[in-house]
Amino acid sequence: MKITELLPKEICLYDYGNDKTDFTGVASHTARIKKGDLFVAIKGKSCAPLSLYKEIEERGALAVVTEWEEPMPALSIPCYYVKNARLAQSYIYYNYYRASLENIRFVAVTGTNGKTTTALMLAHLLSGKEKTGYIGTLGVYLDNTPLKEATHTTMTTPSAELLYASLALLASKGAKTVVLEVSSHAIAQERVAPLSFQAALFTNLSEEHLDFHKTMEEYFSVKARLVRAAAFSVINVDDAYGEKLAPLCQNPITVGVLQDASVCATDLYEKGRDGTQYTYQTEKLSFPVSLSLIGSFQVYNSLLAIAAALKLGVSVDSVKDRVSSFPSPKGRMEMLPLDKFKAPFSVIVDYAHTPDAFAVAIRAARKLTSGRLFVLFGAGGDREKEKRAQMGKIAEELSDFVYITRDNSRTENLAAIMKDIISGMSPTARRRVIANREKAIRTALSELQEGDTLLLLGKGHERYEWDSAGLHAFSEEDIVYDYLEKHTDTAV
């Protein structure tokens, strides 16, 4: 492909003229360069030292796209200077795969919490009508079947390189619609800039990523940019930021339980471990909804998904049938099946890692618990520190006992992370600090009695632990099952 087909002229600082170079591929990591590629350099990450440009040439790249205006060191290949390398990268990858993407309908789900469940539920509802893909925290799915599982490198919204390759993969499998979880980082870094979204769903907004966005207003404005640009939006207006966002959008579909909205949930009834039921209510439409998901907060996720599905052409009968069969996504208020061990207690795994998500998850678990509620969690290293004390405070106030442990400490000192968590707790808090997460889980399991619940927060679907030594295989589910195999006489 020619540069004129890959890189829009308005993104360049200078006119690239009538360059006839024919590129056979695109790369944004030096190790993946193939002969004939166009290389996109992201300042400060992909190829920060100018000396690495020699490697780019030696590996066979035919040209470089870069933000830098300094002359390249002894390069014989052309350089295309751009205003924003990330924006250029997204358009280049989009245009590289464009032929296979032109007939796909794109739907975005954004917000702080609930993106994964909402996106997967919407994909599940749409797949009753047509082949539907999902891209997000759990990987890449087609009609509820994983094509690519999540790994430690999986981001909520993949890098431009992986995103557009994944979209092309889904297109090759026949996907007509793709539902994407879209993070604020992805919006700010222009990863989805080339995509026109038919719909954008807004779940909620609470404190997160302030190490990146600095203020809640900046965080909100980034999310709002995506939602306002979509052909139509579906917004949770029971959330304060959703209420603020709705008037900024053209004819939004608003959903809510606590206040008036164009779509409401009425006659709400929580059935504990059996889920929740309610009536989906609009001015012209009313029908019963039955969810198998744990927690009344799932009502918001389902209202958003159902409203979008109906607007996108799914029939009411299909929605009613398919929403009742939607299973809990991996690591999202997932109650581990302990029947074969005849365990008299419960273990729930949830991905919550923000203060608001903590409160929601712990309150939901409390409603399912007749005995004591134990909460076990840590906090990610090299991430915003401000929320750690808040999570400690919430865990203390809403549970009966807290285990503080590791959760992807990365390069940060684990003791410092746990100290930050404890700083939000009272001196008399019922807590125990056990740095080794596996040991902490086994210790907590040994304390459980009939009617108790152990809520494991933070890891969710992840099957690794990431510390200063690197990555280690780690599965909370496997640890729980192994413990019960060894410590219960009733396992069958």
Contact predicate 287/304, CB 8 Å: no
**CB under 8 Å to 452, separation ≥6 — which residues?**
345, 346, 369, 371, 372, 373, 374
Q: Is the pLDDT of residue 31 over 70?
A: yes
pLDDT tens-place string over residues 423-452 = 999 999 999 999 999 999 999 999 999 999
Among 114-118, 160-164, 206-210, 390-394, whose mean pLDDT is lowest?
Answer: 206-210
pLDDT of 319: 98
Contact predicate 276/248, CB 8 Å: no
Residue in this structure with the two tokens 């193939």, named with its chain if needed: 34
Mean pLDDT of 311-326: 97
Confidence of residue 50 (pLDDT cuts 50, 70, 90): low
Structure tokens at 464: 């690794």
Mean pLDDT of 236-249: 97
pLDDT of 77: 85
Confidence of residue 362 (pLDDT cuts 50, 70, 90): very high
Contact predicate 173/142, CB 8 Å: yes
Q: Is the pLDDT of residue 45 over 50?
A: no
Q: Is the pLDDT of residue 141 over 50?
A: yes
Q: Is the pLDDT of residue 74 over 80?
A: no
State the Cα–Cα distance between residues 262 and 253, nearest whole angstrom.
Answer: 6
Strands (E) across 333-424 are located at 334-335, 346-350, 373-377, 401-404
> Global pTM?
0.94
pLDDT tens-place string over residues 456-488 = 999 999 999 999 999 999 999 999 999 999 987
Contact predicate 199/107, CB 8 Å: yes
pLDDT of 27: 95
Q: Which residue has the higher pLDDT, 210 or 354?
A: 354
Mean pLDDT of 5-34: 90
**CB under 8 Å to 361, separation ≥6 — which residues?**
295, 333, 350, 352, 455, 457
pLDDT of 363: 97
pLDDT of 78: 86
Mean pLDDT of 333-345: 95
Confidence of residue 79 (pLDDT cuts 50, 70, 90): confident
> pLDDT above 70 covers what percent of the chain?
95
CATH 3.40.1390.10, the chain: domain bounds: 3-92
Q: Distance of alpha carbon 426 from its chain centroid, rounded?
A: 32
CATH 3.90.190.20, the chain: domain bounds: 334-487
Mean pLDDT of 383-405: 96
Coil vs helix vs strand at 156: coil
Could you say which of 3.40.50.720, 3.60.150.10, 3.40.1390.10, 2.60.40.10 is the CATH number of the domain covering 3-92? 3.40.1390.10
Mean pLDDT of the chain: 93
CATH top class, domain 103-324: alpha beta
Contact predicate 63/78, CB 8 Å: yes
Q: Is the pLDDT of residue 317 over 90?
A: yes
> pLDDT above 90 covers what percent of the chain?
83
Confidence of residue 492 (pLDDT cuts 50, 70, 90): very low
Q: Thinking of the domain 334-487, which architecture would CATH place it in? A: Alpha-Beta Complex (3.90)
Closest by Cα among 253, 249, 293, 251 to 272:
293
pLDDT of 491: 44
pLDDT of 76: 80
pLDDT tens-place string over residues 249-294 = 988 999 999 888 999 999 999 998 999 999 999 999 999 999 999 9
- Percent helix, strand, coil in the chain (nearest 5)? 35, 20, 40
pLDDT of 384: 87
Q: Is the pLDDT of residue 233 over 60?
A: yes
First CA to last CA across the chain, in angstroms?
61
pLDDT of 88: 97
CATH 3.40.1190.10, the chain: domain bounds: 103-324
